[in-house]
């Protein structure tokens, strides 16, 4: 399923560049730099068991954790990473207190029989893990490096982890980038991610498990979005592949979707990921950044975070149609006129007003409505056939047509263009007599000549060619008509 926010006039000319670059960077790192991580991790874990390190550490951890006798590992069967032994090893890695004691030489005492062997193998195992991107650039609080507070947000533990984060980065990132501006948005994203990392570090400062993923930074976007939009409804496009539509939803309702995505990832066993305290830190940091942005944001940007007033036009059109169905033309007229006053190019309202006014074909309102509706239809070539039909209806109902000469010219062109030569000639001839200086006349006469020739009316075509060449001798159309006649 695809969700796309439609706020901020996102287009090819105004793309969400920062969001696209962030997504591209995350994908490049995962599919490029992290491509060998699984192999390196497996090699490290194989070394852990095959080197005898597991046989030294796991029994001691079982004693430390006071495991029941049936869960105690057999030292004789710890040379291969069986599922129970591997699970025990992972539990040991997550046990911060035990790992602290292990690294501080309180589990295996210096001078004991196994100490030198253990120290060498533990150092080798740690170095092998350090070859993976996850351990090298993820945030391992007990061994935190300054840069890992930033780099951890660009490393992911699995495909689901990556895809889930990128979907929400796209949804929230586009909205905030268009609203805040690219530099403010980019800075906020990085700062929210760092804040999330710091909160996670403060709570889990002695953890030896790497924390990775963009979840903390995206939680920051969620916090900022909630503060900046609140209950404002944003427009979102969605597609399931075979069905698509758009709807408006309160921005804050993205929060349960985001949390639901995290819970789903947890229950599906997505590896890696940012811990929930990082999410809390990200939400809090993003909310603070949102409050700050709200105070200093430019006035022209503030409107972006305010819900636009609901367009009353659809309700007014529906009201007018309901009145027309009850033959309440008098009541429908002012409603439609109000719509047209606000939106002069509203084709549906213009058509309905024409139908209302034609109940009184002798009124000035009928001529005015016909002129506006015809002008609208003639603005696009696709509606020329309909314009011709509306004009015929108008002509039949009115005792005398009363349109502007430029509109008559456009009507004559529409009739000629659609092959209705006689109807076009009927409008063009009196127009040329009445207003011979109208700039459109030569082109219309030339089109009339071509239309008559195409229908085999050579004598009539010659008549209007002569008129064109005699009255508009200096026009380009007259030169074209003369050249063609000479060629024949």
Neighbouring C-beta atoms of residue 48, cutoff 10 Å:
24
What pairing do the DSSP bridges indicate for beta strands 244-250 and 233-239?
antiparallel
What is the C-alpha to C-alpha distance for residues 447 and 453, in angstroms, rounded to an integer? 10
Classify domain 2-33+150-305 at the CATH class level: mainly alpha
What is the C-alpha to C-alpha distance for residues 165 and 265, in angstroms, rounded to an integer? 10
- Strand boundaries in 121-218, DSSP class E: none
Question: Is the CB of residue 444 less than 8 Å from the CB of residue 409?
Answer: yes
> In CATH, what number does 313-487 get?
1.25.40.10
pLDDT at 250: 66
Per-10-residue mean pLDDT of the chain, 488 residues long, equals: 47 78 95 92 92 90 80 70 84 91 93 93 94 93 92 91 87 80 89 90 89 89 80 57 55 65 55 59 80 67 57 89 92 93 92 93 91 91 88 91 92 91 91 90 89 88 86 86 67
Largest CA distance in the chain: 121
Where does CATH 1.20.1540.10 sit in the chain?
A: 2-33+150-305
**Which pTM was predicted?**
0.59
pLDDT at 263: 58
Q: 70: Cβ–Cβ under 8 A, 6 or more apart, which residues?
A: none
Neighbouring C-beta atoms of residue 85, cutoff 10 Å:
20
Where does CATH 1.25.40.10 sit in the chain?
A: 313-487
What is the C-alpha to C-alpha distance for residues 408 and 222, in angstroms, rounded to an integer? 58
Residues composing the chain: 488
Neighbouring C-beta atoms of residue 70, cutoff 10 Å:
5
What is the C-alpha to C-alpha distance for residues 410 and 326, in angstroms, rounded to an integer? 35
Q: What are φ and ψ of residue 245, in 5° steps?
A: -165, 180
pLDDT at 270: 45
Question: Is the CB of residue 221 less than 8 Å from the CB of residue 169?
Answer: yes
What is the C-alpha to C-alpha distance for residues 212 and 14, in angstroms, rounded to an integer? 31
- Beta-carbon-side half-sphere exposure of residue 443 (alpha carbons within 13 Å): 9
Q: Which helix (H) or strand (E) holds 388?
A: helix 384-397
459 by DSSP, 3-state: which? helix
- Going by C-alpha positions, the residue among 3, 438, 70 that lies closest to residue 239 is 3
Kindly compute the dihedral angle of the four CA atoms of residues 365, 369, 370, 375, in this order, to the nearest 10 degrees: 140
């Amino acid at each position: 399923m695809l969700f796309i926010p439609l706020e901020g006039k996102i287009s090819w000319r105004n793309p969400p560049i920062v969001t696209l670059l962030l997504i591209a960077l995350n994908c490049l790192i995962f599919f490029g730099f992290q491509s060998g991580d699984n192999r390196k991790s497996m090699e490290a874990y194989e070394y852990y068991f095959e080197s005898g390190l597991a046989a030294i550490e796991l029994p001691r951890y079982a004693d430390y954790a006071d495991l029941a006798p049936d869960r105690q590992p057999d030292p004789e069967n710890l040379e291969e990473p069986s599922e129970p032994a591997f699970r025990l090893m992972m539990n040991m890695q997550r046990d911060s207190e035990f790992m602290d004691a292990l690294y501080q030489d309180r589990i295996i005492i210096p001078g004991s029989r196994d100490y030198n062997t253990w120290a060498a193998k533990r150092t080798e195992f740690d170095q092998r893990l350090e070859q993976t991107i996850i351990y090298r650039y993820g945030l391992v609080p007990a061994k935190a490096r300054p840069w890992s507070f930033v780099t951890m947000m660009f490393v992911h533990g699995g495909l689901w982890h990556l895809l889930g984060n990128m979907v929400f980065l796209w949804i929230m990132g586009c909205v905030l980038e268009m609203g805040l501006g690219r530099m403010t948005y980019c800075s906020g994203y990085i700062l929210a991610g760092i804040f999330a990392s710091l909160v996670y570090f403060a709570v889990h400062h002695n953890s030896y498990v790497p924390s990775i993923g963009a979840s903390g930074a995206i939680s920051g976007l969620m916090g900022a979005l909630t503060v900046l939009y609140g209950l404002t409804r944003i427009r979102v496009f969605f597609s399931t592949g075979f069905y698509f539509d758009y709807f408006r939803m309160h921005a804050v309702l993205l929060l349960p979707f985001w949390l639901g995505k995290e819970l789903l990832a947890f229950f599906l066993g997505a590896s890696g990921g940012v811990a929930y305290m990082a999410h809390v830190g990200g939400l809090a940091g993003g909310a603070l950044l949102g409050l700050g942005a709200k105070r200093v944001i430019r006035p022209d940007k503030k409107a972006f975070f305010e819900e636009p007033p609901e367009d009353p036009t659809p309700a007014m059109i529906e009201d007018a149609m309901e009145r027309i169905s009850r033959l309440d033309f008098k009541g429908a007229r002012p409603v439609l006129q109000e719509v047209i006053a606000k939106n002069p190019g509203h084709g549906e309202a213009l058509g309905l007003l024409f139908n209302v006014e034609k109940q009184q074909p002798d009124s000035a309102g009928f001529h005015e409505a016909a002129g506006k509706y015809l002008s609208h239809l003639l603005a696009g070539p696709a509606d020329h056939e309909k314009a011709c039909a509306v004009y015929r209806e108008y002509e039949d109902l009115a005792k005398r047509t009363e349109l502007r000469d430029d509109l008559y010219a456009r009507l004559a062109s529409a009739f000629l263009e659609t092959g209705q030569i006689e109807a076009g000639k009927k409008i063009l001839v009196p127009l040329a007599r009445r207003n011979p200086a109208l700039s459109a006349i030569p082109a219309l006469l030339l089109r009339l000549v071509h239309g008559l020739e195409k229908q085999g009316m050579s004598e009539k075509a010659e008549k209007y060619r002569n008129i064109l060449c005699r009255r508009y001798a200096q026009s380009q159309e007259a030169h074209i008509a003369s050249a063609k006649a000479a060629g024949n």
